[in-house]
Structure 1
Amino acid sequence: MELLFVMGILGILAVIAIPAYTSFIQKARETAVVTTLSKIKRGQEVYRLADSVGLYTGDFQALVATGVLSPAPGGATRDEHDYRFTLAAGVSGGVPYWTVNANPLDASASAKWFYIDDAGVARFETGAPANSGSPLF
């Protein structure tokens, strides 16, 4: 009888603790993603200042060379913190630009999708890719 009581209490605790733990892990990943986006922004500014024409890079390895990102495989994409970061850069109307999308590898409906560009403001959407019109993070 006592064992049944203890099992019941453990079951109740598990029902409460598991979702809280899962939420905690997701928030930690999202914080790590925003930190990485901030590093990418800093790396792009360092890269542009060093570039002879003042352009941004579309290659993560070039950002690694600036010293703001740790080495990882990939050119225009890299996986980190259970997210895939996709980097694009170019020139539009004579003005250099860059964008990064950070999309969750596990694309659940509750996952946040992130975006940042040369304006330097992180944005997000829940359950769908973020873009320049998404809410601020």
Structure 2
Amino acid sequence: VSREALEKRYKQGWVVEVEDDIDKLTRRIRLARQNKEIVSIGYHGNVVDVWERMVQEFETNGERLVDLGSDQTSCHNPFNGGYYPVQLTFHEAQQLMNDDPFRFKTLVQESLRRHVEAVNKMSGAGMFFFDYGNAFLLEADRAGK
């Protein structure tokens, strides 16, 4: 969600391409799969939007665009900037985190539930998912999912 963090990963070479538009991202994923191209694409937005879009593509077209998924959020610190709720922009979330930490935590937990629900749907469609130790699945469980 942070443009600054995304640009840093791009400059470091972790991300080869950057995309801001979910429709363009989806088309780019589809093209990479068709061409059997290996590419890392950083999306400037919330990962929940991406997972929910992948579910939509599967449910609408029967096309699973992701074979292997993971999560790169910092859920070891979900309520102090390690995880941003899908319902807010980056700047709105930062403001709410300072002004109303209880509301921020509530939105983070709602977002975590949506996040894991989408991942579970994709896993049910045959995608493999792993938590690499960032506490994503732990926090999703604590959020009630």
Shorter-normalised TM range = under 0.3
Tell me which protein shows more helix as a share of its residues: 2
Tell me which protein shows more strand as a share of its residues: 1
TM-score of the aligned structures, taking structure 1 as reference length: 0.27
**Bigger Rg, structure 1 or 2:** 1
TM-score of the aligned structures, taking structure 2 as reference length: 0.26
